[in-house]
């Protein structure tokens, strides 16, 4: 295929991905009022499932800190068409999340012809694992990190004279950035696996660069969360865990690669 043929092929992959996102967005938009109240604003309700489960876990472990106080937040809309635009934003964000497996599958179909047979063998199940990790990051941020974040800010008061009245744009921006950001960052083990398979990354390299990786993860945590140390800390913990997990995955990938090369030499 010529360069222009590749561009044309990529264009249709993008078009089909956008259609999938649009279909999911329409589905969300039909029930956007219910979705906004029960899902987007879910962490602001005292009956949110994470608060109940964390409190039950705290009672079992005798850790009172896991029982978070009720969230008291007031929201306001400062633009004439703000709520209408918000409905579209929520629809397309959730549409993208719901259509992610298909979008990634389209992306994979575009790059698959450029890979060698051995590389395709190692990439078996990549759509499943990437989708699983993406949804894991989304659920982890939505059910754990974000509830703790808004609970911390809702309960923080610099002075009794102040009252927290949050714009709905600010609330939604923090929620969407955190959810999408964590979903993408959770793809780190898959990236490390393939880089280790082709010999670009080694476990020794990851261990040697651990200090720099911690600094990068701290910066990344600050970028995808609200500007405060508490949210940054909550995000950094799972990211660092993913980094250590990536070292283990890299070790196994390198061992498999060496075993394959040794078998080829014997042949």
Query: Considering the domain boundaries, does residue 59 fall inside one?
Result: yes
Backbone torsion region of residue 124, taken as left when φ is above 0, otherwise alpha when ψ lies between -120 and 50, otherwise beta? beta
Confidence band of 14 (pLDDT split at 50, 70, 90): very high
> In this structure, is residue 19 part of a structural domain?
yes
In a domain? residue 96: yes
Angle (CA) 25 26 30, round 5°: 115
pLDDT in tens, 157-215: 777 777 778 888 888 988 898 899 888 888 888 888 877 776 777 888 888 888 888 88
Asked whether residue 14 is assigned to any structural domain, the reply reads yes
3-state SS class at 167: strand
Give the model's confidence band at 21: pLDDT under 50 very low, under 70 low, under 90 confident, else very high: very high
User: What's the pLDDT at 15?
Assistant: 93
pLDDT of residue 227: 56
171 located within any domain: no
Q: Is 223 part of a structural domain of the chain? A: no
Read off the pTM. Answer: 0.81
The total domain count for the chain is: 1
Q: Residue 119 falls within a domain, yes or no?
A: no
Are the beta carbons of 149 and 224 closer than 8 angstroms? no
Q: Which domain holds residue 72?
A: 1-114+128-164
Query: Band of the pLDDT at 230, cuts 50, 70, 90?
Result: low
**86's tokens:** 């918000």
d(CA 23, CA 104): 16
| Domain-located, residue 33 | yes
């Amino acid at each position: 295929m010529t360069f222009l043929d590749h561009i044309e092929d990529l264009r249709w992959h993008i078009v089909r991905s956008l259609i999938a996102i649009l279909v999911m967005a329409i589905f969300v938009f039909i029930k956007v009022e219910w979705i906004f109240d029960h899902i987007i604003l879910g962490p602001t309700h005292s009956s949110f499932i994470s608060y109940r489960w964390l409190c039950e876990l705290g009672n079992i472990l005798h850790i009172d800190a896991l029982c978070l106080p009720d969230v008291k937040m007031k929201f306001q809309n400062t633009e004439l068409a703000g709520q209408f635009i918000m409905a579209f934003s929520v629809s397309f964000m959730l549409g993208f999340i719901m259509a992610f497996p298909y979008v990634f599958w389209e992306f994979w179909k575009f790059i698959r012809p450029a890979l060698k047979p051995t590389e395709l063998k190692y990439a078996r199940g990549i759509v499943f694992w990437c989708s699983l990790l993406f949804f894991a990051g989304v659920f982890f941020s939505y059910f754990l990190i974000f509830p703790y974040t808004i609970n911390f800010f809702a309960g923080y008061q610099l002075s009794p004279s102040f009252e927290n009245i949050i714009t709905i744009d600010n609330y939604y921006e923090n929620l969407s950035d955190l959810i999408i950001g964590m979903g993408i960052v959770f793809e780190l083990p898959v990236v490390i696996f393939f880089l280790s398979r082709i010999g670009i990354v080694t476990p020794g390299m990851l261990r040697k660069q651990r200090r720099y990786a911690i600094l990068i993860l701290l910066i990344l945590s600050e970028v995808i969360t609200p500007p405060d140390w508490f949210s940054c800390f909550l995000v950094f913990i799972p990211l660092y865990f993913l980094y250590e997990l990536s070292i283990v995955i890299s070790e196994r990938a390198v061992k498999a690669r060496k075993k394959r090369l040794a078998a080829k030499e014997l042949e």
